[in-house]
Amino acid sequence: MNTSGTNFRITTFGESHGPAVGVVIDGCPAGLALAETDIQPLLDRRRPGTSALVSPRNEADQVEILSGVFEGMTTGTPIALLVRNEDHHSTDYEELRTLFRPGHADFTYQQKYGHRDHRGGGRSSGRETLGRVAAGAVAMKFLAGKGITIAGGIVSVHGKTGTAAIEAEILAAKNAGDSVGGIVEITARGCPAGLGDPVFGKLDAQVAGAMMGIGAVKGVEIGDGFEAAGRFGSENNDPLRKNGFASNHAGGILGGISSGQEIVVRIAVKPTPSIAMPQKTVDIRGNDADISVKGRHDPCIVPRILPVAESMLALVLIDCWLEQAKYRT
């Protein structure tokens, strides 16, 4: 399942320590003005090595458009986007050839396939999300032309709020050889009513699936989410008036279909599993072992996951937009 989408389909490829990572987009409408400069800013937000709060891996993450664009316009044919890996230190991960990192996908990949790329997690690495962000940038360019914008922000990290407190919490975990998680909120503005389909094609189900498809995400809320479970219906319903809705507890989705309000999504991001602090594990033969993960890792994934989550929401919305267009005359 390396492909996602029905009308706007993306297939990501590549491993953390392979020669390159990227994405192939199929179904992007022709006539969209597109250049590397439309994609690069979002990739730069996801890029490692930008501060003490993220992984020091020094990658330029410069995107190349290999196909699907001619004279600055999309042609309607597959768009291939490539980013070359330039700063991978594979020898840092040699110990992981026979040891499983707690909290990571090492053990489950080995059980499923019987063979895995241990270098930086291979396909299970967060570096795979680069292809999603590149595709998300294309989707956002299309959606912006329809008046839809997407932006995210950090709600909290390890229970702390506010920039200074968040930065201090991340640095404290880093200095201890540990890691922390947090909560991120993503909002789509300008989305028209009518996107999404009943029953199994619900917009909120598609959004939740897209967000849970990000490796570090362990929970998703739409609108007020779990808070709604503690309310009366009279408190949680969003009253309709001639000038629109009086509130937005539903997060812009009713019955699986967009209501025309802001679509609000929150995700719970787990702490980075690769930590320097000693941990208990087993080796590939099932023997007990100790591990202290080497290499360069984010002490907190939250800052760099923002453009990934924004991209996943954009990919769902463009897919639903193109589906809805089939019903318009």
pTM listed for this prediction: 0.94
Cα–Cα distance measured from residue 100 to residue 109, given in angstroms and rounded to the nearest whole number: 10
Instruction: Report the pLDDT averaged over residues 184-195.
Output: 97
* Res. 75: pLDDT tops 90: yes
Instruction: Report the pLDDT averaged over residues 11-38.
Output: 95
Residue 14: band (very low, low, confident or very high) from pLDDT cuts 50, 70, 90: very high
Predicted pLDDT of residue 87: 67
* Res. 90: pLDDT tops 70: no
Question: End-to-end CA distance of the chain, in Å?
Answer: 34
Give the residue with greater pLDDT, 115 vs 255: 255
Share of the chain above pLDDT 90, in %: 74
| CB 198 within 8 Å of CB 254 | no
Predicted pLDDT of residue 55: 82
Give the number of other Cβ atoms within 10 Å of residue 226's Cβ.
9
Predicted pLDDT of residue 94: 73
Cα–Cα distance measured from residue 109 to residue 118, given in angstroms and rounded to the nearest whole number: 10
Instruction: Report the pLDDT averaged over residues 185-196.
Output: 97
Instruction: Report the pLDDT averaged over residues 21-29.
Output: 97
Least confident range of 49-58, 142-151, 293-302: 49-58
* Res. 91: pLDDT tops 70: no
Cα–Cα distance measured from residue 64 to residue 82, given in angstroms and rounded to the nearest whole number: 5
**Which is the CATH superfamily of the domain at 3-325?**
Chorismate synthase AroC (3.60.150.10)
* Res. 329: pLDDT tops 60: no
pLDDT in tens, 106-155: 899 888 998 888 876 778 888 899 999 999 999 999 999 999 999 999 99
Report helix, strand or coil for 92: helix
Report helix, strand or coil for 64: strand
Q: What's the CA angle centered on 265, arms 260 and 268, to 5 degrees?
A: 175
Find the helix or strand (DSSP H, E) in which 305 lies. Answer: helix 302-325
Instruction: Report the pLDDT averaged over residues 261-266.
Output: 98
Placement of tokens 């991340």 in the chain? 170
Least confident range of 6-20, 90-104, 153-167, 284-298: 90-104
Predicted pLDDT of residue 314: 98
| CB 4 within 8 Å of CB 24 | no
Instruction: Report the pLDDT averaged over residues 9-29.
Output: 94
The mean of the pLDDT values for the chain is 93
Instruction: Report the pLDDT averaged over residues 29-50.
Output: 94
Extended beta strands in 30-179, E state: 63-65, 69-70, 73-74, 79-84, 149-157
Report helix, strand or coil for 103: coil
Least confident range of 74-78, 206-210, 289-293: 289-293
Domain ranges of the chain: 3-325
* Res. 93: pLDDT tops 80: no
